[in-house]
Structure 1
Amino acid sequence: DWRERFQSEFSRIAERICHYEMRVSTHPGQFILLNSPREDVVAASFRELDYHADVLDLVGADSTGRIQIHLGGTYGDKPAAIDRFAETFPLLPDKVRNRLVVENDERQYSLADCLVLYEKIGIPILFDAFHHLLFNNGESYAEALRLVSRTWDPVKDGVPLVDYSNQAEGKQKGAHTDHIDLADFRQFLTETREFDFDIMLEIKDKETSATDAVRVAKEIRDDIETQTPSLRVNSTASWKLSANNI
């Protein structure tokens, strides 16, 4: 059993996560399709999600540690596909269901579509800012964060999770950039400064961009506090950034 074989390694990771008060999450691949009309695909998705839930449990992640997935395919009938996801969701084991979040994508399911699913089953929505830029219904970043924030229980779920990236130059639409565009990132944080959220950078150079992003976040926080000393700054005071694997 892999859980027993790597128990000591997981324990060491758990100690470090606890020591540094880290929030951890996982992002299974695109083959997780809970709304597939094929039973074998759904069954395989269950097995993969079960594995991710076990990993988060083994590293000591609290209830704010999440498994993020896309809503899936549309299969020629988006409303029916959303309904299938909603019907499948209660069948998941508690350890998966209690950690699962869905993110808006850049081609098939916008934030508005994810909100339809939320109204059916109450699943939190992870906001992908880059995907929203490419596929939206006219919502500003601030309006999007306002809609997303209400899907997260601050006690059980923690603050919302946000994915951030930029378009890679010369590559297909939706390809992640090698390094963060700091001007765009500054604008995003400025527009959403009233909200609390944790940011995960989907940038190929990982910690290099994360270091630059933290510097920009601190500059924005300092500017706001200098200009309006009495203002309680939410997200700029509590932003946490991490660099996702791509």
Structure 2
Amino acid sequence: MRILIAEDEIHLAEALSQLLKKQHYSVDVVHDGRSAYDYALSGIYDLLLLDVMMPEMDGFAVLRKLRGDAIATPVILLTAKGDTMDKVTGLDYGADDYVAKPFQVEELLARIRAALRRKGEVVPEDAVSFGDIELNTTQLKLTVKGKELKLNLKECELLELLVTRKLAVTSKEQMIEKLWGFDSNAEYNNVEVYISFLRKKLTFLQSAVRIATIRGVGYVLEVTE
């Protein structure tokens, strides 16, 4: 899952980014409201963390414009302000939650998980599964009938994306946007390389699950007989 952090305090933004990456979220960071709005319009994010006090456009304005553009991505507002009217304003503009600084790390992570659940995303606590495979997203470990292999982070993120989308076909464009970011230099061959790695590991583990190619569309998980 991909999260956009919009926070003008650079050190805090970097700390939040590292925290979320350790939880195996993909993260992009911007430091002003205009950039936050432009990035969020891409539609690739599963959640937005918006600071209220930002240059160029504050968090309230970003939120109001996004909701006006029918962007329904869950939003958690971050602010040093803690009075009731700010909370009411944020919620009235369409925020899903509101966290006042300073905040406890565990509380923020819990609120992120809750916002994603309300959106209907599958939010893994430890593992996700499909067919005979189980993917531990914390330990980056793929298990099939008691046999296990360690994955690298990108392999784990890619397989998690395919598992959580279940029978939906996922295009290379969607994979690049979700795993590398819409403004990255990643190309189709990056996706193909990791798909090849995963196929070899599934074969080694003798899994009944395979990654099928839907020509001209993308990839989908299937369970063979």
- TM-score (norm. length: structure 2): 0.35
Answer 1 or 2: higher relative contact order, Cα 8 Å, separation at least 6. Answer: 2
Q: Which has the higher helix share?
A: 1
Give the TM-score of the pair, scaled to structure 1: 0.33
